[in-house]
Structure 1
Amino acid sequence: MLLKKIFFVAVVLGAVMPAGAQSAKHVVLISIDGLRPEFYLDPSWPTPHLKQLKQLGAYARQVTGVFPTVTYPSHTAIITGQPPGKHGIYYNAPFEAPKGRWYWEDSAIKVPTLWKAVKQAGLTSGAVMWPVTVGAPVDYNFPVRRADGDEKTDQLSVTRPYVTPAGLLDKMAAATGAPVTAEDFKYSNIDHTIGRMAAFIFKQYQPSLLAVHFVQADHAQHEHGRDAREVKEAVAAIDSMIGLVMTTIKETGQESGTTVIVTGDHGFVDATQSVAPNALLAENGLISGNDWKAKFYTAGGSAFLYTKTPGDTAVTQQVAQLLRRIPGSDKLFRIITKEELAAIGANPEVELALAMKKGVVANNAAKGPLVRNKPLGGAHGYYPDFNEIYTGFIASGYGIRQGAALEQLRMLDIAPLICRLLGIPSLVEGTGKLPDVFQTDK
């Protein structure tokens, strides 16, 4: 594993630097939710700014994510360098959480984050719509604390109390001459708003680390599938906002000392089948109303088995036997053992998991048919071992070797890369001991 990290950093970086060498002044970390490598590899996608960054810097043909490949565990992996089993954000929402209660708070993260590392180094940070950042030690922060279906209010009203500093949005409105309204946070407008906020924060405060999360490409793929017209429109809008951020960096005179990294959290699969593993458990007496001995918690292309008594081997074996008896089960899912879950760094609290086959998703229903066949739009959450679910990576600017191309890298390598660029101690044990294999002409 150490050799892989050395290779990744050595190939990508022209200047992630020998001890004592100059560091990047700024890193702008951009996440496109649902980013697929073809967005910048395929000429048919309307992404001139992504392609410019790729041409001027380094890129990967695929990035291996964490399990499950969903937004909150993945974004937390990006800013910690650790998998869900260590950082503690196992899904988007905790198991058995009340409706609308997701992993919002930074306090849920069990390991050090880039935010804390940057602050400890005496540097500043900013974040726009980055998951799990409510209450995070981010100097300029518009976190994700979104309205849910059971909240009788709008996105802006829900989020405003958690923005830091408290007057950030008012300062942005005064500086840009455009008030921030609830309309700006509707899905048709939200990525434009995110881009404006990111540009304002960089121009006004020039933080050492600015993390930005664009969301509409994910929403469009869920609604319309991987390659619908609406997806290309969403991706084009995000690309234009990345262009705004790039222009702002240049206008502030910080281009030569800034590194821009674009990555994502997962790819997408067009789903046509839905499986309800809890219906199987209910049929066999393991779930009865609110009482249960075993229950699956699903995350798109995956499902995770909890037992009422943790570590209940007998119940776990019973569930495994029931799953194997499903006709054609090998075409629906693969059973992931507890040992395999530990090896990939997934949730340690569950007894086994289901990795759904490509195009199959799981749902939490305990009633109704076990399998439904119908077009379901786009999905993710799958085990990260096939092309469509991989995400992407581009890095350009200070410290990045132009023309470097990687076939594959890990999502977990991104945080150590940022630490090296900023010249701060690595969050991940071992990476600080990498030999001095880097060159710099800075």
Structure 2
Amino acid sequence: MQIVLHSLVLSILPVNAQEVKHVVLISIDGFRPEFYKEESWPTANMGILARKGVYADEVRTIFPSVTYPSHTTLATGVFPAGHGIYYNTKVGDNGKPEGWIYDFKEIKARTIWQAAKEKGLSTASVSWPVTVNNPYIDYNIPEIWSMKNPVDRRGATSSYANPKGLFEEVVENATGTLGMNEYNLTSLRMDANLGRIAAYIVERYKPNLLTLHLPNTDGAQHRAGRNGDQVKRAIAGADYVVGEIYDALERAGILENTALIITGDHGFVSTHTSISPNIWLKENNLGDKAFFFSAGGAAFLHVKDKKDTRTIEKVKHLLCNLPLSERSLFRVIEGEKLKKMESDPGVDLAISAGDGFYFDNKTEGPLLNNGTGGKHGYYPDFHNIYTGFIAYGAGFKHAKSISFMQMEDIPAIIAFLLDMDLPGAKGMVYPGILEVSESE
């Protein structure tokens, strides 16, 4: 396998490559480097794995730094413009969110599950976004909920689990009977039950590739911001799941052949005030021609007539000429800064909120409103919005740390470890964190 590192081409061969037979990728929603670097957080399992394995001080996410586009980048190694998942939801004609994006058919890029299947490997996934109807996952418990009653995920999960009956199987053998609130974000039992399901699949089916998404830490930070008891309890629950997966790998007899990777989709910013940028458009008689679509910490300008460049220029002008008290609340993202992040290709201008602020989709009322809790979605060039990375086990060095990496590096590393073909991935493979031999 040849990996291109800047202008140097190295032939990189894993030491004892046959030992890397399994990869487990755990994504903790809202995962931050502090959780494993600072002893004040209740993360004994992650702390041990970080110290004994590999960890990164920071992982740059994508733009917007939100869950579904980020998880699709983790599964493909490309940016939103390449994989087609631009936001968590579709964008309605009125500028409001219009349905979460569930179906795998929405993804335009090659995924790690497809690469694994074409290599003859077995695959599994638990609660990973945009995996409904994914034909490349052998054992799939997708993230989905009822359209009529979003709090209840059980029926929809059962309907879309693959193979048919898998959800009933894991309930019987791993979780026990699930009440509605034991399988949604109202309770920390959500992560615990997802962990039990994943651990059962590890022991029962021993997949070569398992992806697991744990959402509770995200919910806690949305409610409380970056700190507080809610966040500590949520990350402690996620840490417990990490320990459960580790133990399941050991019980299954595959621990020494497994690369265990823990990462996330974005960091968090504590907030106090929401901004309604569509009020600016309305006050300047532009509301019938364009709208800002909020992704939390950022908002993207959508022009109703795609050829209407004059409206874009008018919006730029009005943003630049706002009173200083308003203009200082955000920064404009356009040109090369927007282009390099390969976000929604239909957008030429976005705004990213300042510390403590975020955007909403309101078109009526005051410009500013109370907005406590936490948000993400911001342009990813500062520490608080970055996520983290821990890697332990087969294929990785011991007691190694790096200062910075990129989200798209993670699927490239997974493809390398399992010797899979993921040619479109834009990430880098770092020999310095892998047990590899190098020859020019």
Fold similarity call, TM over 0.5: yes
1:41 to 37, 43, 50: 37
Which residue is 1:228 aligned to? Answer: 228
1:385 to 364, 381, 384: 381
AA matched with 1:172: V
Q: 1:426 to 1:17 in 2, by over 3 A?
A: farther
Answer yes or no: is the 8 Å Cα contact 1:40–1:50 preserved in 2.
yes
The percent identity for this pair of structures is: 39
Q: What stretches of structure 1 of length at least 5 have no aligned partner?
A: none
2:154 to 126, 150, 156: 156
Q: Distance in 1 between matches of 2:337 and 2:171?
A: 50
Q: Distance in 2 between matches of 1:261 and 1:435?
A: 16
Within 5 Å, give how 1:1-400 maps onto structure 2. 2-3=4-5, 17=14, 21-22=17-18, 24-96=20-92, 101-136=99-134, 137-147=136-146, 151=149, 154-176=152-174, 178-187=176-185, 188=187, 189-287=189-287, 292-328=288-324, 329-372=326-369, 374-400=370-396
Aligned residues: 429
Aligned-pair distance for 1:431?
7.3
CA RMSD of aligned residues (A): 2.7
Answer yes or no: is the 8 Å Cα contact 2:121–2:208 preserved in 1.
yes
Aligned-pair distance for 1:186?
3.3
Q: Distance in 2 between matches of 1:400 and 1:434?
A: 10
More deviation, 390-399/329-338: 329-338
Q: Distance in 1 between matches of 2:204 and 2:210?
A: 12
Answer yes or no: is the 8 Å Cα contact 1:80–1:427 preserved in 2.
no
Q: 1:130 to 1:6 in 2, by over 3 A?
A: farther
Q: Distance in 1 between matches of 2:107 and 2:207?
A: 22
More deviation, 278-287/168-177: 168-177
AA matched with 2:59: V
AA matched with 1:112: R
Q: Distance in 1 between matches of 2:100 and 2:363?
A: 22
Answer yes or no: is the 8 Å Cα contact 2:411–2:425 preserved in 1.
no
Q: 1:411 to 1:283 in 2, by over 3 A?
A: same
AA matched with 1:370: L
Q: Distance in 2 between matches of 1:56 and 1:428?
A: 32
Answer yes or no: is the 8 Å Cα contact 1:56–1:397 preserved in 2.
no
Deviation per residue, 1:317-347 (Å, 9 max, x gap): 0011111122124421111114432211111
Q: Distance in 2 between matches of 1:394 and 1:214?
A: 15
Deviation per residue, 1:273-332 (Å, 9 max, x gap): 211111111122222xxxx21111110110101111114210000011111122124421
SS of the equivalent of 1:377 reads strand
Deviation per residue, 1:254-283 (Å, 9 max, x gap): 111001000000111111221111111112
More deviation, 420-429/349-358: 420-429
AA matched with 1:229: D
Aligned-pair distance for 1:403?
1.5
TM-score w.r.t. structure 1 length? 0.91
Deviation per residue, 1:342-389 (Å, 9 max, x gap): 2111111112100111221011111112223x3520110000011111
Q: What stretches of structure 2 of length at least 5 have no aligned partner?
A: none
Answer yes or no: is the 8 Å Cα contact 1:72–1:131 preserved in 2.
yes
Q: Distance in 2 between matches of 1:437 and 1:210?
A: 21
Bigger strand fraction:
2
Q: 1:354 to 1:178 in 2, by over 3 A?
A: same
Q: Distance in 2 between matches of 1:118 and 1:330?
A: 48
Q: 1:67 to 1:200 in 2, by over 3 A?
A: same
Answer yes or no: is the 8 Å Cα contact 1:28–1:258 preserved in 2.
yes
SS of the equivalent of 2:47 reads helix
Q: Distance in 2 between matches of 1:43 and 1:21?
A: 34
Q: 1:366 to 1:432 in 2, by over 3 A?
A: closer
Q: 1:430 to 1:356 in 2, by over 3 A?
A: closer
SS of the equivalent of 1:426 reads coil
Q: 1:122 to 1:316 in 2, by over 3 A?
A: same
SS of the equivalent of 2:279 reads helix
Answer yes or no: is the 8 Å Cα contact 1:425–1:432 preserved in 2.
no
